Amino acid sequence: MVEIVVRGLLWFSAIGCGLIGGLYFAFSTFILQAFDRLGAERGAQAMNAINVEIVRSLFMPVFLGTTLASLALIVIGLVRREAGWQAMAAGGAIYVIGMFLVTLVFNVPLNNALAAAGGHDGGATWSVYLRSWALWNHVRTLASLLACALFVVAIAAD
């Protein structure tokens, strides 16, 4: 029974990390650039609209569920130390630190600052936001995709 739960958590986490990493990849490679082409005020409005909508969407259960599953896989990997445990624990740690904590510590405060500015500051907030948010989004992208790969390695090791 425990094996089925662990396998289910690994599959859920691998898929969740892949989905979230893909979303972040899209932001890093073309969405932010498209918003910037709209100009500071309209770009900030578009990003603010996404930030309001995303917390009401199906993204949040995937975001939170993958984080919780990744935390569980860290503990399970460290306690059980069975085939693939290093990949399982490393994938969980990379995801929780590189995606979840980076989001909380860097991206969310930047989102809040952008919303507070309201896009009416001549683009100063947007310029700083775009550069900083993109940097931390690249980190989240890499962490999510690396965690996905490590979870697949853990699945294959079984």
52-104 pLDDT, tens digit per residue, is 999 999 999 999 999 999 999 999 999 999 999 999 999 999 999 999 999 99
State the Rg of the chain over Cα. 17
Buried b (16+ CB within 10 A) or exposed e, 51-86: beeeeeeeeeebbeebbbbbbbbbebbeeeeeebbe
Alpha-carbon span 127 to 102, nearest angstrom: 20
Alpha-carbon span 87 to 65, nearest angstrom: 19
Higher pLDDT, 47 or 158: 47
Sole residue written with tokens 């001549």: 122
Amino acid at 34: A
Its pTM stands at 0.95
Chain centroid offset of residue 80 CA: 27
